[in-house]
């Protein structure tokens, strides 16, 4: 009753119907040979059912259900919008009687029209039940060779339609080849059925919030609906991310379960495809630590006079200069390093213990010593000073670098970001992340992953994404 009629409602369309009444046997006769003549009258009795509320009132009264009074003699509304009677005269040139009934626009309404030569109207009757017809425009990805809804889906749609007096009819089917489908629209069956419960084919069509919906034409306007044929539909509010923090991986291909209700589905409308993975090597510089080696660069001075003869300078790279002054003893010249000199040594070594500099110089600290080296006492001083520097360096617990591949040149754990490329879709499901950590290079997380050792370490993973929920 929602479609346009081309035959005054007698083609099953429209919400009004014009009914022609004739004498039995006149249908096949030409008008001039029919028994029905203008002096005959037909009695009509119209009854509407359904569309009443608990109080017996019509729920929808626009347009009002009725036997239209045009051409009706003795038109009577026995019960408003429910029962009508009247008489109709036969007219030329067709020698038929005609009446028009407004059926209303409510699905499920039923109308019975009874006619007869007497007010009992027992000669014939016809019934009408209101239905709507909706066209569906179908968008589908060809993974099973279909060009319409599967039979089981049609049966379910028909079942639903019957309950609301609605009939569905195909308008247009847009069939997209699998190779031209949006990214992530065709997924392995295991993504939606990780334990293999269903008998679904190896591939399934999954649509999410970011799947592009385009190409619908809506040629039937308000009488059509757009349908995407898919196996699963995923929705997200995309207002807040959820996180799996501190996940620990000791293998290059770890798996992690999502929390209940915080399921994952990739999205085409985000550059990241709805996945952000930060990885950090779970190791400190104490692992695989190696003491630095000290090498000396001597700058020898000749012709020193006065106090210069008792002064030695030490310096690490471009650091501050440490000055060690020897006192002149009563019976000779001192050659040992006193307490003040030890403090100068420690200050210089502290500057030499620069992690980035040691890393760049292959764990070698160069100490430049500027000293006079002409007398035996001066030679002894230089030797004693070098020995003290080596002794102090050996006693510095953190003087050196880690040789662990998970430590960067600043002495910090390696870290980085991974994206959709780290997802192994052959093992991933909506409730489970399966990763394939990069392992091409020595400092890649997949190469590093393992129990803590001098060459391996656990990888900590923080996974962020917008949670999804299945619909239907």
Q: What are the distances in angstroms from CA 350 to CA 195, 354, 368? A: 59, 8, 14
pLDDT at 261: 86
Check whether 268 has a pLDDT greater than 90. Answer: no
pLDDT at 7: 87
Q: What are the distances in angstroms from CA 356 to CA 6, 143, 291, 363, 407? A: 88, 56, 14, 9, 11
Point out the least confidently predicted range of 86-95, 191-200, 357-366: 191-200
Phi, psi of 112 (to 5 degrees): -115, 125
Question: What would the mean pLDDT of 127-151 be, rounded to a whole number?
Answer: 91
HSE-CB for 226 with a 13 A CA cutoff: 10
User: Is the model more confident about 216 or about 158?
Assistant: 158
Point out the least confidently predicted range of 30-34, 119-123, 164-168, 213-217: 213-217
Per-residue confidence at 472, pLDDT binned at 50, 70, 90?
Answer: low
Of all helices (H) and strands (E), which one includes residue 432? strand 432-434
Question: What would the mean pLDDT of 135-163 be, rounded to a whole number?
Answer: 91
DSSP category for residue 199? -
pLDDT at 53: 75
Task: Please enumerate in sequence order all residues whose Cβ is within 8 A of that of 263, keeping only pairs 6 or more positions apart, or say none.
Answer: 234, 430, 431, 467, 468, 469, 470
Question: What would the mean pLDDT of 418-441 be, rounded to a whole number?
Answer: 96
Q: What are the distances in angstroms from CA 49 to CA 8, 52, 59, 81, 162? A: 22, 8, 12, 9, 18
Q: Is 425 left (phi over 0), alpha (psi -120 to 50) or beta?
A: alpha
461 vs 232: CA distance, rounded Å:
29
Question: What would the mean pLDDT of 88-109 be, rounded to a whole number?
Answer: 93
Check whether 145 has a pLDDT greater than 90. Answer: no
Per-residue confidence at 331, pLDDT binned at 50, 70, 90?
Answer: low
pLDDT at 332: 63
Phi, psi of 276 (to 5 degrees): -130, 120
Question: What would the mean pLDDT of 387-416 be, rounded to a whole number?
Answer: 96
Question: What would the mean pLDDT of 360-377 be, rounded to a whole number?
Answer: 93
pLDDT at 391: 97
Percent of the chain with pLDDT over 70: 98
Contact 149, 158 (CB under 8 A): no
Check whether 327 has a pLDDT greater than 70. Answer: yes
Token pair of 248 as six digits = 């620990």
Token pair of 118 as six digits = 């007497």
User: Is the model more confident about 19 or about 27?
Assistant: 19
Token pair of 181 as six digits = 């489908």
Check whether 436 has a pLDDT greater than 70. Answer: yes
Task: Please enumerate in sequence order all residues whose Cβ is within 8 A of that of 404, keeping only pairs 6 or more positions apart, or say none.
Answer: 283, 285, 287, 288, 454, 455, 457
Given the DSSP bridges, would you call strands 469-471 and 322-325 parallel, antiparallel or unpaired?
A: unpaired
Per-residue confidence at 195, pLDDT binned at 50, 70, 90?
Answer: confident
Q: Where are the alpha helices (DSSP H) in 147-256?
A: 151-164, 189-192
314 vs 137: CA distance, rounded Å:
85
Question: What would the mean pLDDT of 322-347 be, rounded to a whole number?
Answer: 86
Contact 315, 385 (CB under 8 A): no
Based on its alpha-carbon atoms, the radius of gyration of the chain, rounded to whole angstroms, reads 47
Per-residue confidence at 329, pLDDT binned at 50, 70, 90?
Answer: low
207 vs 295: CA distance, rounded Å:
65
pLDDT at 433: 96
Contact 187, 425 (CB under 8 A): yes
Point out the least confidently predicted range of 20-29, 234-243, 315-324, 385-394: 234-243
Average pLDDT, the chain: 92
Per-residue confidence at 238, pLDDT binned at 50, 70, 90?
Answer: low
- Tell me: the pLDDT tens digits for 46-76? 999 987 777 777 777 789 999 999 999 999 9
Check whether 396 has a pLDDT greater than 90. Answer: yes
- Could you write out the DSSP letters of every residue in 322-376? EEEE--B-SSSB--S--HHHHHHHHHHHHHH--HHHHHHTTTEEEEEEEEE-SSH
Question: What would the mean pLDDT of 424-444 be, rounded to a whole number?
Answer: 96
pLDDT at 360: 95
Question: What would the mean pLDDT of 400-413 be, rounded to a whole number?
Answer: 97
Given the DSSP bridges, would you call strands 293-301 and 364-372 parallel, antiparallel or unpaired?
A: parallel
User: Is the model more confident about 328 or about 247?
Assistant: 247
Question: Which one of 10-14, 259-263, 403-407 scores highest in mean pLDDT?
Answer: 403-407
pLDDT at 236: 86
- Could you write out the DSSP letters of every residue in 34-73? -S--TT-EEEEEEEEES-B-TTS-BS--SSPPEE--TTEE
- Edge-to-edge order in the sheet of strand 459-465: 242-249, 459-465, 276-281, 415-418
Return the residue matching tokens 């029209």.
113
Check whether 214 has a pLDDT greater than 80. Answer: no
DSSP category for residue 472? -
88 vs 132: CA distance, rounded Å:
30
Question: What would the mean pLDDT of 212-223 be, rounded to a whole number?
Answer: 84
Q: 173 in helix, strand or coil?
A: strand
Return the residue matching tokens 């003795």.
74
Check whether 30 has a pLDDT greater than 80. Answer: yes
């Amino acid at each position: 009753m929602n479609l346009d009629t081309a035959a005054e409602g007698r083609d099953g369309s429209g919400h009004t119907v014009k009914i022609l009444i004739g004498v039995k046997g006149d249908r096949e006769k030409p008008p001039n040979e029919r028994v029905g003549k203008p002096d005959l009258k037909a009695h009509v009795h119209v009854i509407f059912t359904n569309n009443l509320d608990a109080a017996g009132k019509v729920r929808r009264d626009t347009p009002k259900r009725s036997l239209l009074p045009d051409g009706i003699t003795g038109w009577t509304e026995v019960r408003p919008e429910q029962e009508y009677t009247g008489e109709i005269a036969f007219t030329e040139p067709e020698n038929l009687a005609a009446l028009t009934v407004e059926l209303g626009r409510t699905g499920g309404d039923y109308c019975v029209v009874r006619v007869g030569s007497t007010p009992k109207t027992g000669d014939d009757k016809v019934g009408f039940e209101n239905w709507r017809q909706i066209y569906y425009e179908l968008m589908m990805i060809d993974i099973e060779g279909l060009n319409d809804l599967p039979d089981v889906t049609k049966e379910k749609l028909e079942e639903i339609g019957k309950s609301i007096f609605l009939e569905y009819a195909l308008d247009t089917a847009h069939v997209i080849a699998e190779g031209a489908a949006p990214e992530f629209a065709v997924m392995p069956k295991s993504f939606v059925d990780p334990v293999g419960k269903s008998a679904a084919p190896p591939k399934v069509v999954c649509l999410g919030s970011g799947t592009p919906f385009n190409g619908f034409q809506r040629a039937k306007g308000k009488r059509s609906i757009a349908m995407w044929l898919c196996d699963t539909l995923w929705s997200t509010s995309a207002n807040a991310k959820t996180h799996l923090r501190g996940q620990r991986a000791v293998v290059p291909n770890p798996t992690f379960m999502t929390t209940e209700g915080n399921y994952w589905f990739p999205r085409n409308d985000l550059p990241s495809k709805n996945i952000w993975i930060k990885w950090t090597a779970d190791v400190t510089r104490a692992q695989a630590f190696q003491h630095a080696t000290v090498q000396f660069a001597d700058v020898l001075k000749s012709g020193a006079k006065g106090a210069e003869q008792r002064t030695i300078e030490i310096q690490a790279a471009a650091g501050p200069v440490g000055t060690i002054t020897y006192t002149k003893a009563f019976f000779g010249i001192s050659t040992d390093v006193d307490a003040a000199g030890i403090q100068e040594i420690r200050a210089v070594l502290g500057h030499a213990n620069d992690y980035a500099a040691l890393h760049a110089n292959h764990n070698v600290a160069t100490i430049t010593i500027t000293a006079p080296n002409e007398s035996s006492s001066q030679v002894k001083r230089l030797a004693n000073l070098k020995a003290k520097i080596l002794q102090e360096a050996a006693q510095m617990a953190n003087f050196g670098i880690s040789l662990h591949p998970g430590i960067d040149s600043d002495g910090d754990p390696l870290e980085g970001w991974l994206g959709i490329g780290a997802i192994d879709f052959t093992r991933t499901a909506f409730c489970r992340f399966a990763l394939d950590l990069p392992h091409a290079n020595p400092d890649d997380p997949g190469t590093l992953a393992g129990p803590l050792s001098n060459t391996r370490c656990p990888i900590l993973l923080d996974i962020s994404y917008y949670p999804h929920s299945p619909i239907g």
